[in-house]
């Protein structure tokens, strides 16, 4: 399923970009109390965000690479616009793990810990890049203990409550 979405989005980019789309994968494993996140953005969209919203003069090399020294700023932006809350009380925090980038896409990876105990509700907030692109669509794939569900966020729909 992930591969099909990525292939379709890559094809859309080549045919008639600008389509403003991001993909977020959330992998929650309550047995191990772990949480993993990956964010995928079109490189040119994300570069535009960094240059306009973060007020950086030139955080990008001539190859349009997001430099490692800018990851803290990137992470601050991401987590000001994206949140996961468990059981209406615990907002998860994440640590930067890795970044991969090519001309078309950038992937940013994070890891975190789930609170101990039963997960009854998950609240997702996703306003990523909506401050730059009003037509932005954010696709989220939530994998909880091997069960996947997909959600769409946009200018009108920024929050979702998932009852388990």
- Residue reference for tokens 């997960």: 119
| Chain segment 13-57, per-residue pLDDT in tens | 444 456 789 999 999 998 899 999 999 998 888 877 776 655 555
Domain boundaries along the sequence of the chain: 43-163
Confidence category of residue 132, pLDDT binned at 50, 70, 90: confident
Confidence (pLDDT) at 70: 80
* Winning range, highest mean pLDDT, from 10-14, 36-40, 130-134: 36-40
Confidence (pLDDT) at 4: 53
Confidence category of residue 1, pLDDT binned at 50, 70, 90: low
pLDDT at 11 > cutoff 60:
no
Asked if residues 137 and 23 have their Cβ atoms less than 8 Å apart, the reply is no
Tokens at 101, concatenated = 């980038």
Confidence (pLDDT) at 14: 43
Confidence (pLDDT) at 2: 55
| Chain segment 53-98, per-residue pLDDT in tens | 555 555 444 456 777 778 888 899 999 999 999 999 899 999 999 9
Q: What is the pTM of this model?
A: 0.83
- Bridge partners of 31, per DSSP, are none
């Amino acid at each position: 399923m992930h591969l099909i979405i990525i292939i379709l989005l890559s094809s859309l980019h080549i045919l008639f970009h600008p389509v403003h789309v991001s993909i977020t994968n959330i992998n929650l494993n309550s047995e191990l109390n772990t949480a993993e996140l990956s964010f995928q953005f079109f490189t040119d969209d994300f570069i535009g965000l960094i240059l306009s919203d973060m007020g950086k003069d030139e955080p990008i090399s001539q190859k349009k690479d997001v430099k490692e020294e800018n990851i803290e700023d990137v992470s601050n932006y991401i987590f000001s616009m994206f949140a996961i809350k468990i059981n209406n009380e615990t907002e998860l925090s994440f640590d930067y793990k890795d970044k991969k980038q090519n001309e078309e896409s950038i992937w940013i990876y994070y890891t975190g810990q789930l609170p101990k105990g039963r997960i009854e509700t998950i609240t997702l907030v996703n306003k990523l890049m909506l401050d730059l692109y009003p037509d932005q669509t954010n696709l989220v794939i939530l994998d909880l203990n091997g069960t996947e569900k997909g959600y769409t966020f946009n200018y009108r729909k920024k929050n979702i409550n998932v009852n388990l």
